[in-house]
Amino acid sequence: MATSSSMSGFPEWLPEMELIQQKLIETVRHQYQLHGFAPLQTRSIELISDLLSKGEDADKEIYALRRISEEPGNDSESLGLHYDLTIPFARFVSQNRGKLTFPFRRYQIQQAWRGERPQLGRYREFIQADADVIGMNTLPVRYDGDLIRILRDTLVAMALPPIKVMVNNRKILEGFYRGLGIEDITSTLRTVDKLNKIGADGVRKVLSERGLSEQQVDGALAIAQIECDADGLEQVRSLGVSHELLAVGLDELETVLRAAPSVGNVEVVGAMHIARGFDYYTGTVVEGILADHPQLGSICSGGRYDNLASDAKVKLPGVGVSIGITRIMGYAEHLGLFSPTRRTPAVACILVDNEDTRADSDAIADRLRARGIPCLVSDKARAYGKQIKAANNLGIRYVWFPSSGEVKDIVTGEQAPADADTWQPAAETGSWKD
Amino acid sequence: MATSSSMSGFPEWLPEMELIQQKLIETVRHQYQLHGFAPLQTRSIELISDLLSKGEDADKEIYALRRISEEPGNDSESLGLHYDLTIPFARFVSQNRGKLTFPFRRYQIQQAWRGERPQLGRYREFIQADADVIGMNTLPVRYDGDLIRILRDTLVAMALPPIKVMVNNRKILEGFYRGLGIEDITSTLRTVDKLNKIGADGVRKVLSERGLSEQQVDGALAIAQIECDADGLEQVRSLGVSHELLAVGLDELETVLRAAPSVGNVEVVGAMHIARGFDYYTGTVVEGILADHPQLGSICSGGRYDNLASDAKVKLPGVGVSIGITRIMGYAEHLGLFSPTRRTPAVACILVDNEDTRADSDAIADRLRARGIPCLVSDKARAYGKQIKAANNLGIRYVWFPSSGEVKDIVTGEQAPADADTWQPAAETGSWKD
């Protein structure tokens, strides 16, 4: 529909869709700023060694860079495009920690690149909108609650269809598994994380093949199927497994869930199967989906990373959330969630009587622009009907007749005298769909 | 000062500078939208063959991409990062011409990459802010005037130091050279374009070595040194060279200069030495510099390209302008043009009496945010003095005492009772410098 499919995995939106994308991005930016997060843009390029040391299977997905005038084997062979915004942010904070004020809050809205096989919701180039806070030495779990609340408020402001935000804590899963005597925590986490994809039977099969006992598999599946609010965490405790880490994790998750109760179309739940793929998460993990379309992938995610930015000298624990702008756009297009009509930011088109009086129309446009009203002047001094049709094609609601000084509302059909120094268009509906 | 110099040529701004960069970007975006330009983001990646066919020496500067899990020689070897936004835009328009309304106006604010040797004002990754219009079949020179006027208005709105916008038309130079019997137009253009860098003697030397006669060199230098307004174009005519293309070029430039007279701190002049490096320009060319710092490079540029987007079936002539956001930031930092104090978008910090009453402070913050006022809550319930100092370190002007319900203005020292549902901070100065 509105994508240019000339290169698979690299979406490009036509103006009517890009206007929606910009509105979503502006909404996110505004919310992050309201909460005092400072803007940041990191370079798109990182040392491949830095990228490789962090995530699961990241090595397959990195785009390496080389100047084409340069012989292979040169230094810049070691450069690659970042595949998320968290690793670059942690690197930036670690490098600049003497120049920053902690806890350091930043938001970052930027592209990332992964050389994955393209499919619905999976792109090779995509825009993410992240908010993170990194503390010096310590960062109380209160910040995990703050970030989930900011994520919730931002999703509410985006006016998307119903969203389910699922929160968990890796300490719960790790503590629970250790309490059950499971030793291979990482692969168990990853398998359980796929519960929604491969189902309980699938998880059971994989875990059994990995050598877990029936009791261990039963336990891992029992906890994975719990979904609850803060009070409901009793269900986990009542499974009868005990471990110090489990208790810590349950306390942390309770704090987070109490800080960010469900609001409006955004439901926030504790969901014990959520683990997230990246290795760097150490506590809170979060993942949000379109509630009515659970078969689609997550549209936002995040978590706590206590060691990503830390080095030998100092601990720099962090927690953050990420909203997948391109993925939301892709799902929205796939589901037919909107039918955009505007193809320009202009709300008014000043008609032109004839080319000799074009300057009069330009002058009206300048007066509107001086008051912050986006507008266009007709490209051709044709018959009014044709000029109005051209404006309508762009989704422009108002046309301005320079000789009579009247403005016509194409939607209502009303036409009335107007003064370019005072006229105002009707307030926008605020819906992201048009 | 405020850059992280961890990788040469890839600038990263600290929050106090990034806040300024975001303000500049928002100003440009707002101006482009006021003129009815639609947002566009093209993919960062193009076929290297498309990139190579266009610009001067572009082959040395392109970053090629390869997935690191992939054997060399694979298809994706032919992909590279774009080095400007004009070529991707032309490619996008050509590919989507059946889905766009012409003349198609778009703005695009995005990174570009060039593997050049980094130096002041020259980066390997940089942000450009472009506005272009492409017509179907024809695009009258009126649009060249529109674009220069939009560039001028945008530069005025950015509130930068004095700027000199120099406009020329390649037809003038080509016609003039042809009238003088000069055959190698391209290399003569490129040599004359360096007038400000290598001086008249330098240009004379290079042109003479290329085999131009003394009369040809004299002529090329004579026109190159003319700087004038629309009326002053007579000076070119009075040089006594005549050629059909020269006459067309002079008419076009006159139209452009009359459409965009100097305003405020932005001077617009006809400057006969301006040619621009890219091969794709066919008429109007423009370049802007900081007027008080002519030794620095251009901060904006652009021109007319009649064939860039065209193919065998259809002509798609375009004209556009580009503002070098990263370069402006780099020059401003180099020249010490600003001394930023704010390190957060928050304008108020709600203090915390003790951790048990943090929820009260959060509630005040929520009420401010609901009215669009960015704020923070103190990170620690320390003594008020320490909390105020922490807020001041971030450049936050107002601190809010939750128990007394009073707000203190750190700048004026005033303290007064305030209601979170009505309180407003003082209007910002609007200066980009703080």
Whose CA is closest to B133, among B141, B125, B121?
Answer: B141
Lowest-confidence segment of A300-309, A345-354, B60-69 by average pLDDT? B60-69
What residues of A are in contact with residue B142 (Cβ under 8 Å)?
A: 358
Q: What is the mean pLDDT of residues A102-107?
A: 98
Interface with B, mutate which of A67, A82, A393 (most B CBs under 10 A): A67
Q: Where are the alpha helices (DSSP H) in A260-297?
A: none
Query: How much of chain A, in percent, has pLDDT values that exceed 90?
Result: 82
DSSP string of A304-363, one letter each residue: EESSSS--SS----EEEEEEEHHHHHHHHHHHT-------SS--EEE--S-GGGHHHHHH
Is the confidence at residue A205, as pLDDT, over 70?
A: yes
How sure is the predictor about B57, in pLDDT bands with cuts at 50, 70 and 90? Answer: low
Residue B42, φ and ψ in degrees, nearest 5:
-95, 160
Mean pLDDT (chain A, rounded): 92
Whole-angstrom distance, CA of residue B157 vs CA of residue B151? 10
Beta carbons of B41 and A21 less than 8 Å apart: yes
Lowest-confidence segment of A304-318, B150-164, B236-250 by average pLDDT? A304-318
Q: Note which residues in 125-164 of chain B have CB less than 8 A from chain A.
A: 125, 127, 142
DSSP state of A93: H
The pLDDT of residue B4 is 46
Q: How far is CA A31 from CA A25, A84, A157, A229, in A?
A: 10, 21, 8, 25
Residue B347: enclosing H or E segment and its boundaries?
none
| Residue A241 three-state SS | coil
Q: How far is CA B210 from CA B191, B203, B206, in A?
A: 10, 11, 6
Q: Report the residue from B18, B113, B344 with minimal CB separation from A36.
A: B344
Residue A192: enclosing H or E segment and its boundaries?
helix A185-193
| Residue A332 three-state SS | helix
Q: Report the residue from A67, A375, A393 with minimal CB separation from B63.
A: A67
Q: What is the mean pLDDT of residues B381-410?
A: 96
The chain B residue lying nearest A100, using CA atoms, is: B14
Is the confidence at residue B52, as pLDDT, over 50?
A: yes
Mean pLDDT (chain B, rounded): 92
Q: What is the mean pLDDT of residues A56-71?
A: 74
How sure is the predictor about B286, in pLDDT bands with cuts at 50, 70 and 90? Answer: very high
Beta carbons of A4 and B92 less than 8 Å apart: yes
Whole-angstrom distance, CA of residue B33 vs CA of residue B108? 11
How sure is the predictor about A433, in pLDDT bands with cuts at 50, 70 and 90? Answer: low
Could you count the other beta carbons within 10 Å of the beta carbon of residue B198? 13
pLDDT in tens, B101-133: 999 999 999 999 999 889 999 999 999 999 999
Please state the separation of Cα A123 from the chain's center in Å: 14
CA B92 to chain A, closest CA, distance in angstroms equals: 8
Is the confidence at residue A355, as pLDDT, over 90?
A: yes
Whose CA is closest to A173, among A256, A288, A268, A276?
Answer: A276
**Whether the Cβ atoms of residue B275 and residue B285 lie closer than 8 Å to each other:** yes
Q: What is the mean pLDDT of residues B233-243?
A: 95
What residues of A are in contact with residue B343 (Cβ under 8 Å)?
A: 38, 101
Lowest-confidence segment of A71-80, A201-210, A309-318 by average pLDDT? A71-80
Whole-angstrom distance, CA of residue B367 vs CA of residue B360? 11
Is the confidence at residue B56, as pLDDT, over 70?
A: no
Q: Note which residues in 337-356 of chain B have CB less than 8 A from chain A.
A: 343-346
Choice between A338 and B412, residue whose per-residue pLDDT is larger: B412
Query: How much of chain A, in percent, has pLDDT values that exceed 70?
Result: 94
Is the confidence at residue A193, as pLDDT, over 80?
A: yes
Is the confidence at residue B65, as pLDDT, over 60?
A: yes
Whose CA is closest to B393, among B16, B2, B3?
Answer: B16
Q: Does B95 contact A at CB distance below 8 Å?
A: yes
The pLDDT of residue B430 is 47
Q: Report the residue from A63, A103, A369 with minimal CB separation from B65.
A: A63
Choice between B3 and B398, residue whose per-residue pLDDT is larger: B398
| 3-class SS letters over B52-119 | HCCCCCHHHCCEEEEECCCCCCCHHHHEEECCCCHHHHHHHHHHCHHHCCCCEEEEEEEEEECCCCCE
Is the confidence at residue A4, as pLDDT, over 60?
A: no
Letter for the amino acid at B255? T
CA A381 to chain B, closest CA, distance in angstroms equals: 13
The chain A residue lying nearest B349, using CA atoms, is: A36
pTM, whole model, 2 decimals?
Answer: 0.94
Beta carbons of A45 and B15 less than 8 Å apart: no
First to last CA, chain A: 15
DSSP state of B263: B
Beta carbons of B72 and A68 less than 8 Å apart: no
Is the confidence at residue B248, as pLDDT, over 50?
A: yes
Whole-angstrom distance, CA of residue A172 vs CA of residue A219? 13
Place of tokens 């995610």: A301
In sequence order, the β-bridge partners of residue A302 are: A286, A321
What residues of B are in contact with residue A372 (Cβ under 8 Å)?
A: 30, 34
Beta carbons of A103 and B72 less than 8 Å apart: no
Q: Does B68 contact A at CB distance below 8 Å?
A: yes
What residues of A are in contact with residue B11 (Cβ under 8 Å)?
A: 43
Choice between B186 and B250, residue whose per-residue pLDDT is larger: B250
Q: Does A114 contact B at CB distance below 8 Å?
A: no
What residues of A are in contact with residue B72 (Cβ under 8 Å)?
A: 72
How sure is the predictor about B432, in pLDDT bands with cuts at 50, 70 and 90? Answer: low
Beta carbons of A38 and B19 less than 8 Å apart: yes
Interface with A, mutate which of B35, B136, B150, B373 (most A CBs under 10 A): B35
pLDDT in tens, A119-165: 999 999 999 999 999 999 999 999 999 999 999 999 999 999 999 99
Beta carbons of B67 and A62 less than 8 Å apart: yes
Lowest-confidence segment of A71-75, B349-353, B399-403 by average pLDDT? A71-75
Could you count the other beta carbons within 10 Å of the beta carbon of residue B427? 6
What residues of B are in contact with residue A99 (Cβ under 8 Å)?
A: 2, 14
Q: Note which residues in 368-387 of chain B have CB less than 8 A from chain A.
A: 369, 372-376, 379
Beta carbons of B44 and A390 less than 8 Å apart: no
Q: Report the residue from A21, A59, A68 with minimal CB separation from B80.
A: A68
Q: Report the residue from B10, B41, B142 with minimal CB separation from A43.
A: B10
Whole-angstrom distance, CA of residue A360 vs CA of residue A340? 32
How sure is the predictor about B210, in pLDDT bands with cuts at 50, 70 and 90? Answer: very high
Most confident of A273-277, A350-354, B336-340: A350-354
Q: What is the mean pLDDT of residues A388-401?
A: 96
Lowest-confidence segment of A183-187, A424-428, B368-372 by average pLDDT? A424-428
The pLDDT of residue B311 is 82
| 3-class SS letters over B302-338 | EEEECCCCCCCCCCCCEEEEEEEHHHHHHHHHHHCCC
| Residue B180 three-state SS | coil
Whose CA is closest to B85, among B307, B330, B323?
Answer: B323
Q: Report the residue from B40, B142, B374 with minimal CB separation from A36.
A: B374
Residues 6+ apart with CB under 8 A from A397: A347, A348, A409, A410, A411, A425, A426
| Residue A423 three-state SS | coil
Residues 6+ apart with CB under 8 A from B428: none
Q: What is the mean pLDDT of residues A276-293?
A: 92
pLDDT in tens, A211-269: 999 999 999 999 999 999 999 999 999 999 999 999 999 999 999 999 999 999 999 99
The pLDDT of residue B279 is 78
Q: Report the residue from B2, B69, B344 with minimal CB separation from A60.
A: B69
The pLDDT of residue A430 is 47
Handedness of CA A169, A172, A174, A177 (dihedral sign): negative
Tokens of B371: 């009215």
| Residue B181 three-state SS | coil
Beta carbons of B36 and A67 less than 8 Å apart: no
Residue A37: enclosing H or E segment and its boundaries?
none
Whole-angstrom distance, CA of residue A220 vs CA of residue B341? 52
Q: What is the mean pLDDT of residues B237-262?
A: 97
Q: How far is CA A74 from CA A52, A69, B57, B74, in A?
A: 19, 11, 21, 20
Residues 6+ apart with CB under 8 A from A289: A163, A164, A166, A296, A297, A298, A299
Q: Does B49 contact A at CB distance below 8 Å?
A: no
What residues of A are in contact with residue B96 (Cβ under 8 Å)?
A: 4, 14
